[in-house]
Structure 1
Amino acid sequence: MVRRIASPVIAAFAGLLATSALAGDLDIINAPEIDVSQTTLAQGWYIRGDLGYSGWGSTDRPDYTAERAGGGTFSQPFDSARFSKPVSYGVGVGYQFSDFSRADLTTDFFSGDMSGDSAFSGGCAAGAPGGTNCRFDYKGDYSAVNVMANGYVDLGTVAGITPYVGIGAGATYVKWSDTSVLPVCLDGAGSCAGASNGAVGLKGEDSWRFTYALMAGASVDLTERVKLDFGYRFSDTAGGKAFSGRGLGTSIDAVNGRDDGFQKHEIRAGIRVNTW
């Protein structure tokens, strides 16, 4: 009796196992194919172009060292100084290593005007009216080329927007034009009535200076290959020689001027185009 009952049960169990095995085989056969060739890495070269505005940037007052015609040397900053033209533009080429890291080499161009003045006791020239003082008014301009190597960390992309932070280091070539200096007689114990002076020139200097920068911003995907980049950049360029001259024909026989560098707070906008 037991054998009669067991035989149908065993046969049913074996049939169930065979059906399960066949279903498993069909699942494997019908599994969707994955096209590995469609999976691409965020990796490759890109080019970029940028504009920057630093209307609220800070540039410390330049200083100078002067030699009096009668002997003696003194150094002091300008009483006042103003720098203009806060716009810069640049181009660059870079490489995207992954979704989270990239680096680029950039070249930026900027220029500006400088006007300043400095007053001191004593006449502007040997023949100046007695008891008068003198103020020197300076006017000059400069141009600069900045070359930087930059590294960035992209912080992830949400809805086509990718925030990032970065750091850069490089060098800036600053070239000053010849600077005009106009001695202006100032009344003191004596009067400047009838006194006049012509402008004299100082030779512009040029030099390479170390520069570093810190960046933060975000890029917006316009297409699969084109990104709009908005950001903030702080850059600090070391100070250097600005102008010099001797034999000025005034009570100051020689002047050596030096700017205190350029500290720029920039709002920047640009385009990045992937080439992969």
Structure 2
Amino acid sequence: MRSVKLILAAGAASLMSTAVFAADMPLPPPMSYAPPPVEDFGGWYLRGDIGFSNQKVKNIAMGDNRNAALLSLQENVAFDTAGIFGGGVGYQFNNWLRGDITGQYRGNANFKGTDRVTFPSAGLVGNGVNNYTASKSEWVVMANGYVDLGTWWCVTPFVGAGVGMARVNIANYTDNGSTIVGGVTSTSFAGAPAASKWNLAWALHTGLAYKVNPATTIEFGYSYMNLGDATTGPVSDYTGFTRGVPMQFKDITSHDLKLGVRWNLDSPPAYAPPPPLIRKG
């Protein structure tokens, strides 16, 4: 009987020591849960762009249309390629719509053109050639809107449009001409001072955007821009005589290729930080 009591006492002591040991063990850390996905849109951004233009002009003509009565054929009337430098600020409204306001300086583009004319002169038919040169630059301010068309492997195609104002400047205008009437050749020269003109401008955009990280996106873009008309100062001949009429450049357009960077000022963290661990004991 005594041995049974000893066995029961030993068992009770063992259970009590086990319970005390378990109470002294630290509690397991709380279970952690994956944070909900963070939306990767919304907020303000800054942008910068560089690129080059491929510009055209529909035609050039005197401001009073004096040469409109001449039978004229214009050849090789175009601008050279020029650099584009721009920047702006924008807002991403949601995961497919954004807009920005941009400023752009479009560097000097050299202009060359040839005008072949036929005209009556003292009962004879005269033929003439005018070779034009000039340089052109612009300041452009534009409000733009874009639609992002979905994202695949961090690449997002987009389309957009913009409207604003362009200050078009024409400088270094010259006109070297020669005419032949009755077998007699004569030469002429004309020039004009620089002048600027503000126009309504509009653009169509498309391109691809690559998200490097939540705060930085690189763009490869194309824009078709209509910059309106431009004008020189009053044209005068080599003696300084002028009728006070400028030469006008009608309907200037450009095909632009650009490389841009967008910096998101409100980019969310890539993941939510886990809750702090709390230990007892």
Aligned match of 1:170: 164
2:81 maps to amino acid: K
CA distance in 2, matches of 1:274, 1:136: 52
> Percent identity among equivalent residues?
24
Q: 1:12-69 deviations in whole A, cap 9, x for unaligned?
A: xxxxxxxxxxxxxxxxxx9864656x735521111111123343x44312222468xx
Aligned mate of 1:153, from 144, 147, 158:
147
Aligned match of 1:95: 91
CA spacing shift, 1:264–1:82, aligned 2, 3 Å: closer
Q: Runs in 1 of length 4+ with deviation above 4 angstroms?
A: 30-36, 130-134, 246-255
After superposition, where does 1:18-33 map in structure 2 within 5 Å?
33=33
Which secondary structure state, in structure 1, belongs to the residue aligned with residue 105 of structure 2?
strand
Aligned match of 1:13: none
CA spacing shift, 1:210–1:34, aligned 2, 3 Å: same
Deviates more, 1:41-50 or 1:253-262: 253-262
Aligned mate of 1:189, from 182, 201, 213:
182
Deviation of 1:176 after TM superposition, in Å, equals 1.3
Deviation of 1:168 after TM superposition, in Å, equals 0.7
Deviation of 1:172 after TM superposition, in Å, equals 0.3
1:42 maps to amino acid: F
1:107 maps to amino acid: G
Are the aligned partners of 2:190 and 2:237 in contact in 1 as well (CA < 8 Å)?
no
Deviation of 1:196 after TM superposition, in Å, equals 5.5
Aligned match of 2:201: 211
1:242 maps to amino acid: T
- The answer to whether 1:59 aligns with 2:54 is no
CA spacing shift, 1:45–1:164, aligned 2, 3 Å: same
Deviation of 1:265 after TM superposition, in Å, equals 2.0
Deviation of 1:233 after TM superposition, in Å, equals 1.3
Uncovered stretches (5+) of structure 2, i.e. residues with no partner: 1-29, 267-281
- Structure 1 vs Structure 2 CA RMSD: 3.2
Deviation of 1:151 after TM superposition, in Å, equals 0.8
Deviation of 1:147 after TM superposition, in Å, equals 0.6
Aligned match of 2:270: none
CA distance in 2, matches of 1:90, 1:213: 15
1:177 maps to amino acid: A
Q: 1:168-204 deviations in whole A, cap 9, x for unaligned?
A: 11010011114223333x3342333xx565x432133
Which secondary structure state, in structure 1, belongs to the residue aligned with residue 59 of structure 2?
coil
1:165 maps to amino acid: V
CA distance in 2, matches of 1:143, 1:251: 27
Are the aligned partners of 1:247 and 1:254 in contact in 2 as well (CA < 8 Å)?
no
Aligned mate of 1:141, from 114, 130, 135:
135
CA spacing shift, 1:47–1:39, aligned 2, 3 Å: same
Aligned match of 1:114: 111
CA distance in 1, matches of 2:56, 2:170: 19
2:48 maps to amino acid: G
Which secondary structure state, in structure 2, belongs to the residue aligned with residue 98 of structure 1?
coil
CA distance in 2, matches of 1:252, 1:66: 13
Deviation of 1:237 after TM superposition, in Å, equals 1.8
Aligned match of 1:17: none
Are the aligned partners of 1:91 and 1:108 in contact in 2 as well (CA < 8 Å)?
yes
Are the aligned partners of 1:47 and 1:272 in contact in 2 as well (CA < 8 Å)?
yes
Deviation of 1:106 after TM superposition, in Å, equals 0.7
Are the aligned partners of 2:235 and 2:247 in contact in 1 as well (CA < 8 Å)?
no
